[in-house]
Amino acid sequence: MLRILYEDNHLIAVLKPAGVLTQGDRSGEESLMEMVKKYLKEKYQKKGNVFLGLLHRLDRPVEGIVLFAKTSKGASRLSEQIRERRIRKIYHAIVSGMPREKRGILVDFLEKDTARLKARRSEKGVRAELAYETIRMGKKYSLVRIDLKTGKFHQIRAQFSLMGCPIAGDVKYGAPEALPGDAIALAETELSFETATTEEIKRISIPFPNIWENLLKE
């Protein structure tokens, strides 16, 4: 069932569960975008195609908040905020081990390895930056809060792997074992932006998944 987190005349934010595609691909599986279009078509009894602008994506194994534009004005205004980095994205993650510093800033230059569908460090790569803070520590895992400064391909997954603390369940980036449902312990938990027609700041937040508590007890 689709969970609506926010909706106005121009924008709609929904929860993407881990394992669901943000946008359709060759697999033919129903994507989050298709679910939202169906919701809008039924709610507003629209005939024909429904406009829906994709403003950002989350990787398939990641849970979190996804914001769409219902109108071209919404798409234009929010795309401008994204380009100017005025949208704030906060993530939480369970990482293997414990970061050496309780809090810090990670800066790497990453490029996409298209053959392996991974991000890797490269002198030819683009600058990727995030700030993190360790919130809790268990025996095997740590809970971190991440303030994403740049939104690059697999950025968070790659940067924590590079620092020796891969995200729990993320075997592609070095985690020792998978999690149920092929999910990884990474979630976008907060999104802040200006509405499309006013200067009002909207802040949407969700808790991290309850199942993560079990990892912190290990």
Tokens for 60? Answer: 């398939």
Q: Measured on CA atoms in the order 50, 55, 59, 63, is the torsion positive or negative? A: negative
Q: How far apart are CA 11 and CA 74, in angstroms?
A: 6
Cα→Cα distances 74→1, 67, 168, Å: 25, 11, 35
Q: How far apart are CA 195 and CA 8, in angstroms?
A: 9
**3-state percent helix, strand, coil for the chain, nearest multiple of 5:** 20, 35, 45
Is residue 213 within 8 A of residue 141, CB to CB? The reply is no
Of the residues 8, 25, 59, 113, only one is catalytic, namely 59
Q: What are phi and psi of 173, to 5 degrees?
A: -110, 25
59 counts as catalytic: yes
Q: How far apart are CA 126 and CA 109, in angstroms?
A: 5
DSSP H or E stretch at residue 159: helix 155-162
The DSSP symbol for 181 reads: G
Catalytic residues: 59
